[in-house]
Amino acid sequence: MDIVIQNLTKTYGPQKAVDNISFTVKTGEVLGFLGPNGAGKTTTMKAITSYLIPDSGEITVGSYSVSKEPQMVKKSIGYLPEHNSLYPEMDVIDYLQFVAELQGIPSSKIPGRILEMVEICGLEGEKHKKINELSKGYRQRVGLAQALIHDPAVLILDEPTTGLDPNQIVEIRELIRKIGREKTVLLSSHILAEVEATCDRIMIINKGKIVADGTSSELRKHAQGKEIVKITIEDADSEQVIKKIQSLDTVEWIDPLDETNAYEVQSRPNMSSRRDIFRLCSKEGWIITEMTPIQTKLEDIFHELTMKK
Amino acid sequence: MNQLWIICRRELNSFFDSLMAYIMIIAFLGFSGFFTWLYLADIFFNNQASLQVFFSIAYWTLFFFIPALTMGLLAEENRSGTIELLLTKPVQDWQVIMGKFASTLILIVIALLLTLPYYITVANIGSIDHGAVISGYIGLILMSAAYISIGIFASSISNNQIVGFLLALFIGIIFHWIFGMISMTISGFFGELFHSLSTQAHFDSMSRGVIDIADILFFFSIIAIGLVGTASVMAKKHQ
């Protein structure tokens, strides 16, 4: 089931939480929704689940329209909200039973589904505990279990790995990847490594607008084409170094770094300045002790896109 | 319909799991039993066997107990955020509201059923007007339903259970007592008007065995207004 969002806008008071965004998530795709806090990720997700009614715009999940057939949409979606709130006084099993019944799973199949969820989400030891006795990581697993119990075609996960320990994070990511092969998954995060590890496609959203959309390598390329190297030059006067390197044809800019004698040099688009720098240094008698190409990190792209303007 | 029942059952379980239900039932039976049998004890001095004392005690105990049961129904879901998980399931707002309404009403009916031994004992002491007892019980159930509806509305407004409790009592006391008081001090059209808005007036006639269409209409109007009010408060949360 594809999720299609067209011209979605949602305003809270004077602030546009989501500003006329459109995108599609295809079946079998894991889309990572990335953005700083307050960028509009959660609002968009809540609109897809029909919990929030948008000011304008149309959302369809499969062949169902969120505004016209919300009950059918809700049946097809498994949703893990950001603040994964569960009834504290309920047993894990009772809670899953309750959700399974609400989702309309035939009662003969419910025990089997619950067992399966307990196994997939690693809840074997806690299944008879009350939810308020569980640690945050286990509650998150119960949240995932309730989202998956009716085997939905679409999964919407709002920051699914918060509160998990590193081992659990790896497990949950693997689980999401596995699920993502046949389902449509939209997950949000502000952790870049997570999105990179789990998602086929990344969408960066800032101030309610989509600022980048593509695979992680596409996003990298977007910022690449400009080579950045870190160099350390000894036995030289740093003012001279900056002046002479800056005057090279292939160099766009040079910046001294905090470490002594270290600089960051960016080449002009589609050029490499490394040879020129070497020749210059040997001519001047400077000693190069380090020259390392710096790979553009997703962090930098994220930072650049979300801090601009 | 099915969803409504699933939600209702969960609420009922939660009433019993949290001991709320037991405390409420024991306190209700204790209070009404104490006043019916021991304290006023006019049951033995009246020449007629009746449950009038029980009904007037139940009239006040239920008034205080119902807001305690309803205060958390939606306020707690709003506060903890569980309402979001609930409403993103294939459930409609009205099913949630009606499920919660039904669960509380069932609990009250269970409490009232447990007072049937009072009725049976009194009926054995002397001749009793069975019609009056039945219509009195119907009156208690209708009144409870009306206050549950007000209580759910009060609970939907805020994230705070105490606000839910106090607001339910505040709205409740207006119908329960204040309108009746006002109607006694003024006469004419307004006196009639306030009289017809007073729970006391409607309940009294029912506990004496007179069921008028106006009584039924009164209670059902409050139930409807409370539930529709709750639905409109919930609809706002989707905005």
pLDDT of residue B36: 79
Residues 6+ apart with CB under 8 A from B144: B62, B66, B105, B108
pLDDT of residue A168: 80
Residues 6+ apart with CB under 8 A from A294: A228, A229, A230, A264
Q: What is the DSSP string of B82-120?
A: HHHHHHTSS--HHHHHHHHHHHHHHHHHHHHHTTHHHHH
Instruction: Enumerate domains of chain A plus CATH numbers.
Output: 3-214 (3.40.50.300), 226-295 (3.30.70.100)
Number of domains in chain B: 1
pLDDT in tens, B16-72: 998 989 999 999 999 888 887 776 556 566 666 778 888 989 999 999 999 999 999
Interface test with A, best of B3, B88, B93 (most A CBs within 10 A): B88
Chain A residue numbers touching B18 (CB-CB < 8 A): 89
Residue A8 has phi, psi (to 5 degrees) of -75, 130
A101/B contact by beta carbon, under 8 A? yes
E strands present in chain A: 3-12, 15-25, 30-34, 56-61, 64-65, 77-80, 154-158, 184-189, 201-206, 209-214, 228-234, 251-256, 262-267, 287-294
A55/B contact by beta carbon, under 8 A? no
Average pLDDT in chain A: 87
pLDDT at A222 exceeding the cut of 70: no
pLDDT of residue B149: 98
pLDDT in tens, B97-134: 999 999 999 999 999 999 999 899 888 887 888 999 99
**Cβ B238–A102 below 8 Å, yes or no?**
no
Question: Which residue among B6, B85, B88 places its CB closest to the CB of A101?
Answer: B6
Task: Please count the residue pairs, one from chain A and one from chain B, whose beta carbons lie less than 8 angstroms apart.
Answer: 62
Chain B residue numbers touching A103 (CB-CB < 8 A): 89-90
Residues in B whose CB is inside 8 Å of some CB of A read: 2-3, 6-7, 10, 13-14, 17-18, 80-82, 84-92, 238-239
> Residue B25: which domain range?
2-41+49-237
pLDDT in tens, A203-214: 988 888 898 888
